[in-house]
């Protein structure tokens, strides 16, 4: 309980975002004040609501930011059109409200898009409750909200243009900062392993940045291609370090450390080291591949535009595939969506059946509880929502007693919107105070009733929604992920075995597209496995130690995936004979069956591969961890 209370007042300073808060405050204020001055407050209100699409823009490539804000703008516009058409038909309104909440929730979850999920889709759909009943104005309202979204898009474009560094350049800088750390700590095996875990996650995030920013071949800029080559070379250096580590080739020569520091500083600080490496390097032949990668980085950094002519084969984002692959009961996202449908359906039913005045506050509150990362996080959000709402209502009630004018209410609405976006990532319970004030003022301006009647009843609505969400989570979210975790690991093992055979079998395949397709499926399964692990780790009735014992296996599988990706992109990778292939496929299947049936596993020694020898070490580590996990469970 003490830890929970501390979490309510703890601020993560790194996540405070004053620039985004300032932009959101301006975006809300300008349409509202123009609407007020031109006696078109309702249009100004709709347009300012459309600017909430800006809330969904987080870090990422310029293309991904624009893609998210445009699609969100379209979604918000459709939501208010549907709400305006059905506001007088409770049954239809309730059914469509469920659709408007579930569809964005699933899409945002499947594509792993951070942000408030369906929150402002619920607000947009329900806003007509506070407006005059006018179904004939549905299209006008939708277009006005769309205009607000375009205004927000314009602000995002300006912010992208004035940014000093692109997201892709920041990703590459981070790549080489980590490479520098890996090389410096290579001679300390424990420290190297710790940093290597961070590296796998960092490279995965950088991959995502480049994929979401990618254009079709022939349309990529020289600058983008250069950054992409540097990113791929950083992954190559990491792969070589893993290989050297698996063979215990220590200590690393000081010349190599010096070279890596040189190229890392060259990339992370443009003002330093603007000349090529000139010193002669004399090291053991076992380091030759690593040296070749380092020299290649040096070469690319000093290549002119004409030399950067090599086209990199990178996947363009296939969002439909990611969503389709999650439409199965094996997916934690799909199971969470089913749970979400049930709980949100109950909250909407209660709100409409018992004729609550502003019925949407109940599903809105239930929704904010359900978008937590896992069960415990969601229950923490439930408490934060309750406390923040009460404080927000009290603060607004004090303000409303003084009968504020419309311009004051507009300024306060913009201010609270800005404060919300500044602090929502740093402390949710603090931000909820201002979210509450913001949405209540939005409703008050829409209904033209800035009185206590818009505030005090909302405490009851929110508490009902929070209780429904919390009880639903306790009943439906107890051990769902824990029971799914072993089978999700087994699926990843079999998917990697399939790609391993595709890549290294002597019966080689001619079409590389098949490998890319399988790698896409593997990435979905890896994402599902990681999410299942996170969810299982946060469930209420689980055995923490048992869940956490799976982590070394999950990490090893991610590293195998990394090595397989490297092999897929290397047209000159070697093949192995059928005997060795059978040896490796047997171990893959033994591991998969272990997780499918929780049976004991007999450790099989593996012969070394001609390339990508780290795959052998990772498989041996998984086998040993399976034995360790069985021993722990047998002593529980």
- Non-local (6+) Cβ contacts of 633 within 8 A are 546
Which of 31-40, 58-67, 78-87, 431-440 is the least confident region? 58-67
> Comparing 96-105, 310-319, 515-524, which segment has the lowest mean pLDDT?
310-319
pLDDT 10s digits, 291-326? 888 888 888 887 766 666 554 555 555 667 778 878
* 3-class secondary-structure state, position 505: strand
Q: Residue 152: what pLDDT?
A: 96
Are 294 and 237 in contact, with CB atoms under 8 Å apart? yes
Q: Is a pLDDT exceeding 90 seen at residue 598? A: no
Nearest one of 293, 188, 185 to 236, comparing CA atoms:
293
- Phi, psi torsion values for 114, nearest 5 degrees: -70, 165
* Lowest mean per-residue pLDDT among 265-269, 362-366, 525-529: 265-269
DSSP string covering 390-426: HHHHHHHHHHHHT---HHHHHHHHHHHHHHHHHHTTT
Q: State percent of the chain over pLDDT 70.
A: 91
Tens digit of each residue's pLDDT (9 = 90 or more) over 381-411? 788 888 888 899 999 999 999 889 999 999 9
**pLDDT value of residue 311:** 43
**Rounded Cα gap, residues 356 and 360, in angstroms:** 9
pLDDT value at residue 58? 83
Q: In this predicted model, what pLDDT tens digit does every residue of 255-289 receive, in sequence order?
A: 888 888 888 888 887 545 567 777 777 778 888 88
* pLDDT classification of 214: cutoffs 50, 70, 90: low
Question: Which pLDDT score, from 0 to 100, does residue 21 have?
Answer: 95
Q: Give pLDDT, residue 565.
A: 86
More confident residue, 222 or 317: 222
Q: Read out DSSP for 58-78?
A: -SS-HHHHHHHHHHHHHHHHH
Ranges 57-66, 108-117, 263-272, 431-440, most confident: 431-440
Mean pLDDT for the stretch of residues 35-54: 95
pLDDT at 541: 62
Please tell me which residue, 511 or 592, carries the higher pLDDT value.
Answer: 592
- CA dist., res. 182 & res. 241, Å (int): 8
Task: Say how far apart CA 50 and CA 442 lie, in whole Å.
Answer: 12
Six-digit token string for 5? 């209370």
> What's the whole-model pTM score?
0.83
Residue 512: per-residue pLDDT: 67
The string of pLDDT tens digits covering residues 129-148 is 999 999 999 999 999 999 99
Mean pLDDT of 478-491: 84
Which bin fits 340, alpha (ψ -120 to 50), beta or left (φ > 0)?
alpha
Poorest-confidence range of 16-20, 270-274, 415-419, 602-606?
270-274
Tens-digit pLDDT profile for residues 448-460: 888 887 888 888 8
pLDDT over 70 at 488, yes or no: yes
Within a 10 A sphere around the Cβ of 602, how many other Cβ atoms?
9
């Amino acid at each position: 309980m003490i830890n929970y209370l501390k979490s309510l007042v703890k601020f993560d300073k790194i996540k405070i975002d004053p620039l985004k808060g300032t932009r959101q405050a301006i975006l809300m204020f300008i349409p509202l004040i123009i609407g007020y001055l031109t006696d078109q407050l309702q249009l100004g209100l709709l347009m300012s609501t459309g600017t909430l699409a800006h809330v969904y823009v987080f870090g990422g490539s310029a293309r991904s930011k624009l893609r998210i804000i445009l699609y969100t703008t379209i979604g918000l516009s459709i939501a208010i059109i549907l709400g305006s058409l059905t506001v007088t038909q409770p049954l239809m309104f309730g059914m469509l409200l469920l659709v408007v909440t579930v569809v964005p929730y699933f899409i945002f979850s499947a594509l792993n898009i951070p942000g408030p999920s369906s929150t402002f889709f619920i607000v947009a759909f329900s806003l007509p409750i506070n407006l005059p009943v006018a179904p004939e104005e549905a299209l006008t309202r939708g277009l006005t909200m769309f205009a607000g979204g375009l205004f927000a898009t314009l602000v995002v474009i300006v912010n992208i243009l004035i940014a000093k560094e692109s997201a892709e350049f920041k990703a590459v800088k981070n790549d080489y900062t980590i490479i520098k750390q890996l090389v410096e700590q290579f001679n300390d095996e424990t420290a190297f392993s710790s940093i290597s875990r961070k590296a796998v996650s960092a490279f995965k995030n950088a991959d995502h940045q480049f994929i979401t920013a990618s254009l079709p071949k022939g349309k990529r800029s020289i600058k983008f291609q250069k950054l992409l080559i540097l990113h791929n070379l950083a992954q190559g250096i990491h792969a070589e370090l893993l290989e050297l580590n698996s063979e215990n080739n220590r200590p690393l020569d000081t010349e190599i450390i010096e070279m890596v520091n040189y190229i890392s500083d060259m990339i992370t600080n443009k003002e330093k080291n603007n000349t090529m490496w000139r010193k002669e390097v004399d090291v053991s032949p076992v380091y030759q591949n690593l040296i070749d990668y380092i020299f290649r980085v040096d070469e690319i950094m000093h290549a002119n535009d004409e030399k950067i002519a090599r086209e990199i084969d990178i996947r363009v984002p296939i969002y439909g595939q990611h969503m389709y692959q999650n439409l199965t009961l094996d997916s934690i996202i799909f199971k969470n969506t089913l749970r979400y449908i049930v709980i949100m359906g109950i909250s909407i039913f209660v709100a409409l059946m018992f004729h609550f005045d502003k019925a949407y506050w109940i599903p809105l509150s239930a929704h904010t509880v359900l978008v937590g990362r896992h069960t415990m996080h969601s229950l923490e959000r439930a408490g934060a929502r309750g406390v923040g709402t009460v404080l927000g209502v009290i603060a607004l009630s004090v303000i409303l007693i003084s009968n504020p004018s419309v311009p004051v209410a507009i300024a306060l609405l913009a201010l609270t919107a800005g404060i919300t976006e500044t602090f929502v990532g740093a402390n949710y319970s603090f931000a909820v105070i201002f979210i509450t004030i913001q949405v209540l003022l939005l409703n008050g301006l829409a209904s033209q009733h800035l009185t206590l009647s818009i505030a005090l009843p909302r405490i009851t609505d929110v508490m009902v929604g929070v209780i429904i969400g919390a009880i639903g989570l306790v009943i439906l979210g107890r051990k769902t992920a824990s029971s799914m975790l072993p089978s999700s690991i087994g699926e990843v093992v079999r998917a990697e075995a399939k790609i391993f055979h595709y890549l290294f079998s002597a019966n080689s395949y001619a079409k590389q597209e098949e490998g890319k397709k399988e790698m896409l499926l593997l990435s979905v399964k890896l994402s599902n496995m990681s999410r299942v692990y996170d969810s299982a780790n946060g469930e209420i009735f689980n055995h923490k130690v048992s869940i956490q014992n799976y982590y070394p296996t999950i990490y090893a599988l991610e590293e195998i995936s990394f090595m397989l990706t490297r092999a897929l992109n290397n047209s000159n990778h070697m093949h192995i004979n059928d005997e060795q292939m059978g040896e490796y496929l047997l171990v893959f299947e033994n591991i998969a069956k272990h997780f499918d049936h929780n049976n004991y596993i007999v450790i099989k020694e593996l012969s070394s591969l001609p390339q990508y020898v780290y795959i052998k070490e990772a498989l041996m580590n998984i086998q040993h961890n399976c034995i360790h996990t069985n021993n722990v469970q047998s002593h529980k």
